[in-house]
Each structure stands twice: as C-alpha cells, then as structure tokens.
Chains A and B, each alone.
Chain A
Amino acid sequence: MCLITKRTSLNEQSLIQGLQQGEEKMFSLMVETYQHMVFNTVLGLVLNFEEAEDLSQDVFVLVFQQIHSFRAASKFSTWLYTIAVRTALNHLRKQKAKKRAVYIKRFLGMEVEQEIRQTDFNHPGVILDNKEYAAVLFKALQQLPENQRVAFLLVKTEDMRYEEVAEILGVSIKGVEGLMHRAKEKLRNVLNDYYKS
C-alpha cells in the first residue's frame, strides 16, 4: 500500500513537472488519468452530459494553462477537483443569470429562443434498483445551497473523505461535517414534501 502511494506521488510529481514544461505527452497522460474523475464531478453538478463533457475539457485546458500557479501544498488531484467544481459552479451561475434574463424578456413580451433542458437526470453509475430514487434525489439536491450540494456530491459520488472535501471547499473538517448534516436535514424536508404531495 505504502509502495503504491509512493509510486503514485512520484508519478504525480513527474506529471506536474512535465506539464510545467508544456509537454503535450504529459497533457495526454493527465487527461487519460483524471478524465472520469473530472467528468463525474462536473456531471453531478450540471446534470447534463453534453455540458459536462464540454466543461470537463475546459477544466483540463485551464489546468494546463494555469499549472504554474499550482503550489504543491495540496495533492494535484485535490487542485483538479477544486478547478472542476469552480468551473461547474460558474457555469451554473451563468445559466441562472441567463434564465433570469429570459424571464425578464418574456415578461416584457420579447421573443426568446426555446431552451431544451433535461428535466430528469439519470446518473449512469447508479445501480438499477436505485435509479428512480436517485433521479428524485438529484432533483432535490438542486434546492440545497452550493456548498452543501458540493460536499454531499463529493462524499457520495466520489467517495471522498471529509479532509479532502474540506481542502476543496476551503473549510475545516468540522465545517464539512456541518455541511453534510445540514444537507441531509434539508434533503429530508424537501423529500418529505415531495412524497407527501
């Protein structure tokens, strides 16, 4: 186990060095190694396959361009997660602003393009028996504040430890515990209302 960890960190170091030197080979290695991790994280937040693919590509391009600002204080994967989460959240904020603009345009009687959005999201990694419940859960998650949603998704879909979530969100471990507790509480309320109606 220790050997594996050592080998991984050594690989990570050479990967970072290669990226800092602008090596395309290392860019390919980074994408191949982390593509599913980044895609899964982004997908859990944006709930749309095409957007998740596009944003995940943006994440890797951004990482390659910003690699000089990476400080080895945290693990490379943690830094990558941070960028992926930020990219997805920025995208959602822009979408929210766009929706607001559409609402105002409609209110003013102006013509607006019809937006096709997926209403029910089915995560491909959910086991068959849980598909229906998971679809309801992803919908309910939209009603949580950003930090709670990110913490819950990272723990549940990426099987992440609280320490790493704390690093990504820039809060303490106690803070993550609090976020998880409040997320579950809020989800209970939302789901209670959903099943009652």
Chain B
Amino acid sequence: MRKDITELVDKTISSLDGINRAEAPGYFLAKTKAKLYRSEQKEERFQFRRPVLLIAVLTLFLVMNSLVLLHVQSNSRYTHTDKASNVDGFAKEYGFTTSDY
C-alpha cells in the first residue's frame, strides 16, 4: 500500500516530463494587434492625464482665476464719495430729500 502511494506520487511528479508547449490559439496576432490599437486609442483619449499637461492645465486655470478675481476686485472698489453720490442721485431722482422729513 505504502509502496503503491510512493509510486503514484513519483509518477505524478514526473508527469510533466516530455511535455510540449501549449500553443497560443488561432488569430492570436490579429487579436493582440487589435488590443494594442485599442490601448493606443485609449492613451490618446486620456493624453491630458499626463503630468506635464495636467500641470499646464492647472496653471492656466489658476492664472485665469486670479485674473478674474483681480478684475472683479478692481471694479467693486467703491470709494466713499462714489457711494455718497449714488445715494444722492437716487434721492434726487425720486424727490427724497432730508428736508421732506
């Protein structure tokens, strides 16, 4: 019994002796080329993921934001006199004067 098992184990371990290579299935080259083509297309589509491009886009975004912010700030800088003249103009237009009260 013991001898039988040892024999079986030996046969099993040496069962790969003289093995031939398993061959790749048909149209392997064509399928691989198609896969390469797909991966290249995908890469082109996601070009912006490259670090250099990503940094450039981010920098542009930051610069544009800063410019817009500066522009808005410069426009909204009301001086005290501007505000006063606006109020006076509004009061005059509707005939509100302090003397009415």
- A28 CB–B CB distance under 8 Å: yes
**In the assembly, what is the distance between CA of A131 and CA of B77, in Å?**
88
- Beyond A27-B33, A64-B36, A137-B16, whether A196 also contacts B21 by CB under 8 A is no
Q: Is the CB of B19 within 8 A of A192?
A: no
Look across to chain B and name the residue whose beta carbon is closest to the beta carbon of A27: B36
Q: Is the CB of B5 within 8 A of A192?
A: yes
Chain B positions within 8 Å of A27 at CB level: 33, 36
Q: What's the tally of chain A residues with a CB closer than 8 Å to chain B? A: 42
Q: Is the CB of B18 within 8 A of A127?
A: yes
**In the assembly, what is the distance between CA of A137 and CA of B12, in Å?**
6
Q: Is the CB of A57 within 8 A of B35?
A: yes
**In the assembly, what is the distance between CA of A38 and CA of B24, in Å?**
8
Q: Is the CB of A195 within 8 A of B15?
A: no
For A126, give its contact among B15, B25, B31, B35 (CB under 8 Å): B15
Chain A positions within 8 Å of B20 at CB level: 124-125
Within 8 A of B (CB), among A15-37: 24, 27-28, 31-32, 35-37
- Beyond A31-B29, A60-B36, whether A140 also contacts B12 by CB under 8 A is yes
- A136 CB–B CB distance under 8 Å: yes
- A134 CB–B CB distance under 8 Å: yes
**In the assembly, what is the distance between CA of A140 and CA of B13, in Å?**
10
- Beyond A28-B33, A60-B36, A137-B16, whether A36 also contacts B5 by CB under 8 A is no
Chain A positions within 8 Å of B39 at CB level: 61, 65
**In the assembly, what is the distance between CA of A130 and CA of B13, in Å?**
10
Chain B positions within 8 Å of A65 at CB level: 39
Q: Is the CB of B19 within 8 A of A127?
A: yes
Of A91-99, A143-151, A169-177, A183-191, the one touching chain B: A183-191
- A70 CB–B CB distance under 8 Å: no
- A163 CB–B CB distance under 8 Å: no
Scan B22-44; emit 1 where CB is below 8 A from any A CB, else 0.
11110011011101100100000
Look across to chain A and name the residue whose beta carbon is closest to the beta carbon of B35: A57
Q: Is the CB of B13 within 8 A of A184?
A: yes
Chain B positions within 8 Å of A156 at CB level: 16-17, 19
Q: Which residues of A contact B (CB under 8 A)?
A: 24, 27-28, 31-32, 35-40, 43, 49, 53, 56-58, 60-61, 64-65, 123-127, 130, 133-134, 136-137, 140, 156-158, 184, 187-188, 191-192, 195-196
16 residue pairs bridging A and B, Cβ less than 8 Å apart:
A31-B29, A40-B22, A58-B35, A60-B36, A123-B19, A123-B22, A125-B20, A125-B22, A126-B15, A130-B11, A133-B11, A134-B16, A134-B19, A191-B13, A195-B8, A196-B5
Q: Which residues of B contact A (CB under 8 A)?
A: 5, 8-9, 11-13, 15-25, 28-29, 31-33, 35-36, 39
